[in-house]
Amino acid sequence: MPAKPSYTDSLKDYLRLEPTIESDVVRELNTHLEDKSHELIESGLSEEEASTTAAKLLGSPRVVAKQMYEVYSQGSWRQALFAALPHLLIAALFALHFWKDTIWLLGIIIAVACAVIYGWCHGKPTWLFPWLGYCLTPVIAVGTMLIYLPGNWTWFAAIAYIPLALLVIVPVTKQTIRKDWLFASLMLLPIPIVLGWMLALELNDTLIWYKQLQEFASQIALSFAVLALTVATFIRIRQRWAKVGALLTLEILILVIVTLGGNSAIGFGGWLLLVLLSLTLVLGPALLERKIRASDQKSLKLHNKSAR
């Protein structure tokens, strides 16, 4: 006897696991519910009573999903390495001063694009989201460059730029949150770091900017190496609260490195704003997820009513 669809659907809403792992977990739990239902039917219950009782004995979908998450959410060292790889590539780019070489820059751009396309078309595995973050970061970086436009051109450019930027960022972030809000936090992780370094260096003067990149390349490399460590730690941790703690703690550590580097133009106020931005990008997706789920449930109810 198959399990009640409502129980299975609720379970899927809370699981937040890799697609292949999630299907295996759901199949295993369905088998358990079927076996338990057969036992209850043999003891004298009706099919409907047996199915309902088996689901109750298994427990709340939210609790069961949390238990399954802690069992299956830990990624392998291979997955952790691949998730950290884009940050390691950026770190190597500055540590070895390859940022001056157009071929290396082009190679990394192509590698990021290929990894994102492959991962997006193959079930959106956990390792995809750090790579995906580097597709969104240039959009944010271009917006920061508008600050340095002369006169009133900043406002004219911002009016045209902001809607286009939101058109790119919002749909991607929304799709990621539907899978798991923590993945959206992981994806957005590089943004405060990139903005911090752009603000810390003199971008309004090409010569000064080039010299400062040479001078502070090691600190920039260190910040992205710590970012890689953050991602690898995230993949290897089981508990969700510990994943959130790792993201916040190491992100703030990186911002300290950014503030101490560059020409210290950020200052305490700028550093505080970057920390607040980091908190928003790490924890904000959790709030958005609630709104998205509530909206989806409302749409589903309206659809069911119209279908009757």
**What backbone torsions phi and psi does residue 264 show, to the nearest 5 degrees?**
60, 25
**Beta carbons of 176 and 183 less than 8 angstroms apart:** yes
- State the DSSP string of 164-227: HHHHHHHHHHHHHHHH-HHHHHHHHTHHHHHHHHHHHS-TTSHHHHHHHHHHTHHHHHHHHHHH
pLDDT at position 84 over 90: yes
CB crowding 62-88: b at 16 or more within 10 Å, else e: eebbbebbeebbebeeebbbbbbbbbb
Count, residues in the chain: 308
Banded pLDDT at 69 (limits 50, 70, 90): confident
Give percent of the chain above pLDDT 70. 79
Report the candidate in 143, 245, 259, 269 with the shortest Cα–Cα distance to residue 197: 259
The mean of the pLDDT values for the chain is 79
What are 100-122's pLDDT values in tens digits?
Answer: 888 888 888 889 889 999 998 88
What are 181-218's pLDDT values in tens digits?
Answer: 999 999 988 888 887 887 777 655 555 567 777 888 88
Integer Cα distance of 275 and 281 in angstroms: 10
Average pLDDT, integer, range 22-51: 82
